[in-house]
């Protein structure tokens, strides 16, 4: 019996292309694993009204970890238009399957390393080595939204004086998204950031928030961070407003080590940081809970490139490296990262975004050869 059971969810578009690249590397590295492919994505929304079928959730519950490709996601009205005619008007509502995965399995940590590998022509600056911890299940992405606005919700909100000016806006002309943050949610993501900083001897953890305006939710995050920081005297706590953080990451990215933020702010900051080290072709992420994890590249499904094997697979290969680390296969993970770094530094095999003409699979094979 194999040591690990690994779910593979290629998803949509180029998700299939980069998953094929990951398979090449996994075969070469000889991980003692059995792989199980599952179904997720736009196709299943259109044909079944569910982009994350129950059978896929069951598959994940029977495996140790998941490697995920990419999905197509569209706004509510566009999603409804593409739903099979036989399913329209039956109460189906599109909800992001990756967000649902995070919530179903309580994958509360989104870990985003952003490292400038030597020789990458897309680096904004050499020497950047950031790690971002993004809370993955709450905040602005908790999914508690209203449109049209129900009378009961409006009545409840009218206890707040600043809701008064909206009291007469017609229900179909007002939409509300909530930012829900709990003490538990703030504590566990901040603690994860400090634990990582201590383990890898990072000098600082920066809390990225906006407590001067979002006084209650941002204030809770900051209060929790200050309390937890007292337990880690070897790691400095820094604080930054999210808008200022965007500026400072462009100006002095090398000054920062570990960043921690709620869902929306973490999403924005991590994409900004990814661009500093080459763009989404280098951006990998881990969605990590106490008992399960899903690792992915963070680029979209890029339908126009689907099946062309044109896109950069390095983000997916780095996500594979993260998966190996999470499984405790640290030696294999380090070998894989070294091989990726060597291919980037040599510059002989590059996809179009890096100024070359190599295919997705050419890069994977070059990395496999280094292994």
Specify the pLDDT at position 89.
87
Contact call for residues 313 and 26 (beta carbons, < 8 A): no
Tens of pLDDT, residue by residue over 318-330, are 999 999 999 999 9
The dihedral through the CA atoms of 263, 266, 272, 276 has a sign that is negative
Tens of pLDDT, residue by residue over 40-49, are 999 999 999 9
Which of 80-94, 246-260, 310-324 has the lowest average pLDDT? 80-94
Top-confidence residue, 259 or 78: 259
pLDDT at 348 > cutoff 90: yes
Specify the pLDDT at position 146.
97
Contact call for residues 350 and 358 (beta carbons, < 8 A): yes
Portion of the chain with pLDDT greater than 90, in percent? 94
Specify the pLDDT at position 136.
95
- Would you please indicate which residues are annotated as catalytic (active-site) residues? 141, 210, 243, 267, 271
Specify the pLDDT at position 73.
87
Question: What's the mean pLDDT in 151-171?
Answer: 97
As a whole number of angstroms, the distance between CA 214 and CA 218 comes to 5
Instruction: Residue 342: count other Cβ atoms within 10 Å of its Cβ.
Output: 17
Phi/psi-derived region of residue 266, left when phi > 0, alpha when psi is between -120 and 50, beta in every other case: alpha
pLDDT at 1 > cutoff 90: no
pLDDT at 291 > cutoff 90: yes
pTM over 0.85: yes
Question: What's the mean pLDDT in 53-81?
Answer: 94
**Strand segments (E) across 274-367:** 284-288, 293-297
Specify the pLDDT at position 162.
97
The full DSSP string for 32-67 is -EEEEE---SHHHHHHHS-SS-HHHHHHHHTSSEEE
The gap from C-alpha 340 to its chain's centroid, in whole angstroms, comes to 21
Tens of pLDDT, residue by residue over 100-152, are 999 999 999 999 999 999 999 999 999 999 999 999 999 999 989 999 999 99
CATH number for domain 1-111+285-371, candidates 1.10.3720.10, 3.40.109.10, 3.30.450.20, 3.40.718.10: 3.40.718.10
Confidence of residue 75 (pLDDT cuts 50, 70, 90): confident
Q: Which residues are CB-neighbours of 161 under 8 A, at least 6 positions away?
A: none
**Residue 230 DSSP code:** T
Specify the pLDDT at position 32.
96
Specify the pLDDT at position 276.
97
Question: What's the mean pLDDT in 214-225?
Answer: 98
Specify the pLDDT at position 358.
98
Tens of pLDDT, residue by residue over 25-45, are 999 999 999 999 999 999 999
Specify the pLDDT at position 74.
86
Tens of pLDDT, residue by residue over 169-210, are 999 999 999 999 999 999 999 999 999 999 999 999 999 999
Mean pLDDT (the chain, rounded): 96
pLDDT at 2 > cutoff 90: no
Specify the pLDDT at position 158.
97
pLDDT at 282 > cutoff 90: yes
As a whole number of angstroms, the distance between CA 57 and CA 128 comes to 37
> Where along the chain do its domains lie?
1-111+285-371, 144-177
Specify the pLDDT at position 91.
87
Question: What's the mean pLDDT in 204-222?
Answer: 98
Contact call for residues 221 and 252 (beta carbons, < 8 A): no
As a whole number of angstroms, the distance between CA 291 and CA 275 comes to 31
Question: What's the mean pLDDT in 71-82?
Answer: 88
């Amino acid at each position: 019996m194999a040591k690990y059971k690994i779910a593979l969810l290629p998803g949509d578009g180029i998700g299939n292309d980069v998953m094929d690249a990951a398979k090449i590397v996994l075969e070469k590295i000889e991980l003692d694993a059995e792989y199980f492919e599952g179904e997720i994505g736009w196709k299943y929304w259109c044909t079944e009204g569910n982009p994350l079928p129950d059978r896929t959730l069951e598959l994940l519950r029977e495996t140790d970890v998941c490697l995920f490709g990419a999905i197509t996601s569209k706004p509510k009205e566009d999603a409804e238009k593409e739903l099979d005619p036989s399913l329209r008007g039956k109460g189906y509502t599109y909800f992001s399957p990756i967000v649902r995965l995070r919530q179903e399995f309580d994958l509360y940590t989104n870990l985003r390393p952003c490292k400038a590998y030597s020789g990458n022509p897309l680096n904004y600056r050499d020497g950047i080595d950031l790690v971002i911890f993004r809370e993955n299940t709450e905040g602005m992405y908790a999914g508690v939204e209203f449109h049209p606005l129900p009378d009961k919700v409006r009545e409840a909100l009218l206890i707040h004086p600043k809701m008064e000016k909206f009291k007469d806006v017609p229900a179909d002309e007002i939409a509300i998204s909530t930012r829900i943050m709990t003490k538990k949610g703030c504590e566990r993501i901040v603690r994860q950031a400090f634990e990582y900083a201590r383990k890898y001897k990072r000098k600082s953890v920066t809390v990225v928030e906006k407590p001067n305006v979002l006084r209650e939710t941002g204030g809770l995050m900051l209060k929790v961070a200050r309390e937890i920081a007292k337990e880690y005297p070897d790691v400095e706590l820094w604080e930054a407003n999210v808008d200022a953080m965007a500026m400072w990451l462009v100006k002095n990215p090398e000054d920062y080590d570990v960043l921690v933020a709620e869902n929306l702010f973490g999403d924005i900051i991590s994409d900004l940081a990814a661009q500093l080290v080459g763009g989404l072709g280098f951006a990998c992420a881990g969605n990590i809970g106490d008992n399960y994890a899903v690792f992915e590249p963070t680029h979209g499904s890029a339908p126009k490139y689907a099946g062309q094997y044109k896109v950069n697979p390095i983000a997916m290969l780095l996500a594979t490296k993260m998966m190996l680390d999470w499984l405790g296969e640290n030696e294999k993970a380090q070998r894989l990262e070294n091989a990726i770094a060597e291919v980037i530094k040599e510059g002989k095999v590059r996809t179009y975004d890096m100024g070359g003409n190599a295919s997705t699979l050419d890069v994977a094979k070059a990395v496999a050869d280094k292994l």
